[in-house]
Each structure stands twice: as structure tokens, then as C-alpha cells.
Amino acid sequence: MVTHRPRPQVIRLTDAAAERIKYVMENAAKPVLGVRVGVKNGGCAGMTYTMEYAEEVGKTDEVVEDKGVRVMIDPKAILFLLGTEMDYKADKLSAQFVFNNPNQTSACGCGESVQLKPAAASGASH
């Protein structure tokens, strides 16, 4: 008998992040299903996080439903985001989503880009 290990949730949301995503979705110009999160090459440290409205679920998207919101993960970003906590922080000077990512090895001084390593493949079987 084969026992399958449950797949780890790629990303977790804090209450603040979930509430902000709900707010953003409610105020979108047109109906959206959630947000799509990914990473792309860029910035002085090597990679930047991307986030956009998701009007539909892509065939290869990883879908995370957490705290009443839906986050679609770009399949190319899954190994870079595995184990990440998405938060939302607001202070006097800025308000932004923050990614607390165990795969981050360094970041640039301005905080706009990060250096990421893929998560160990053994914990991310697909």
C-alpha cells in the first residue's frame, strides 16, 4: 500500500495580508478570482517578487486558499516560494506586502530585490 505524503502549502498568509488582499480584490476595476504571485529576474540582488490580479486560474498555477482568499502561484516560482509567509505591513512611510521567505539568501540595500535559492527538491514533490 502506497502512502502519499500531503503536499506542503507553498505560501501562508498572515491575517494582515489576507485582509489587504480582500480589500484590493473588492476595489479592483473588474471582478478577479484572487492574486497571482511569482518571481522574476531583476533588481540588483537578482530576483523580484511579482504580484498581479488573477482573473482566472491558469492550467499550471498552484492554487493556495488561505484565510478566505485565493492566491495563484506561478509554477516557475513554486520552488523559490516554498515555505514563504506573505505579510502586509504599513507604517508612516510605506505600506507593502512583505515576503518572509526561508529560501532568501540575501537582499539588496533598498529592499526591492532578493537573492533566492530553490527549496530542497525532496520536500517539494509534484
**Position 38 in a domain:** yes
**Position 89 in a domain:** yes
**Position 63 in a domain:** yes
Q: What is the pLDDT of residue 42?
A: 76
pTM of the full structure: 0.77
What are φ and ψ of residue 104, in 5° steps? -80, 130
Range of the structural domain that residue 44 is part of: 11-114
**Position 92 in a domain:** yes
Split into its structural domains, the chain has a count of 1
**Residue 125 and residue 5: Cα distance in Å, rounded?**
9
pLDDT tens, position by position, 25-56 = 999 999 999 999 999 887 776 788 899 999 99
Mean pLDDT of the chain: 84
**Position 79 in a domain:** yes
Q: What is the pLDDT of residue 111?
A: 61
Give whole-number Cα distances, 45 to 52, 90, 107, in Å.
22, 24, 6
Query: Positive or negative CA dihedral for 113, 71, 65, 118?
Result: negative
Q: Which CATH number does the domain housing residue 108 bear?
A: 2.60.300.12
